A and B are shown apart, each in its own frame.
Chain A
């Protein structure tokens, strides 16, 4: 898995908190930096897909790791 600049722990949080927290975290990053998000909400898989498409931030990776969902988003 590629490196990242910041990690967001969104485990235990349900819709819409994972993407809301991600938006907040991304705001603190510089363009090109990568945010790693760990979530347990199964709905977050589609949510982050939509988030990336709608906001123009690139979803580099979306996968599972030890029962949790892990996403890598690069700030546009």
Chain B
């Protein structure tokens, strides 16, 4: 039985969007999949040595809010200064209280499970990112390079 393969293209850089790539990749690796994640655009935020991801309630009508706020809190209120920081802090607290791993832990678990991280060279250049601000265990490549692996996968996800 040949090994199954999973490719994930990670394009988002917020706290809520950061979880799916790492959880799916680490779980797949635990189940024996050969896994690669291609980080592009805001997904590159997930490769920063010091991740400081936020989650914003603004423009996020699907986001559950505490105290039933999602039913009565005005959208304009979500743009108030400090709302983003408050929501981010509350979400992190909720995750900790429910035993959800931190993004740093999940990223570490992915690397331990030999998930390959590829950073989109083009986006790194586009945003003038300093490669030394990203974790070392990253390869740099382009879409064509990634397709070499992705084209052969059983599951390919765009996140």
User: Chain A interface (Cβ within 8 Å of chain B)?
Assistant: 12-17, 19-20, 22-24, 40-41, 50-51, 54-55
Stretch at the interface among B50-58, B60-68, B95-103, B121-129: B95-103
User: Chain B interface (Cβ within 8 Å of chain A)?
Assistant: 23, 26-27, 30-32, 98-101, 106, 109, 112-113
Check if B98 sits within 8 Å of A20, measured CB to CB: no
Contact with A14, one of B32, B99, B112 (Cβ below 8 angstroms):
B99
A14-B31 contact given A20-B109, A20-B113, A23-B113, CB 8 Å threshold: no
For A50, list chain B residues within 8 Å (CB). 31
Contact with B31, one of A17, A24, A40, A55 (Cβ below 8 angstroms):
A55
A-B CB pair tally, cutoff 8 Å: 39
5 residue pairs A–B, Cβ–Cβ below 8 Å: A16-B106, A20-B27, A20-B113, A40-B99, A54-B32
Provide the main secondary structure of the chain A interface: helix
| Complex CA distance for A68 and B113, rounded to whole angstroms | 27
Contact with B26, one of A14, A20, A41 (Cβ below 8 angstroms):
A20
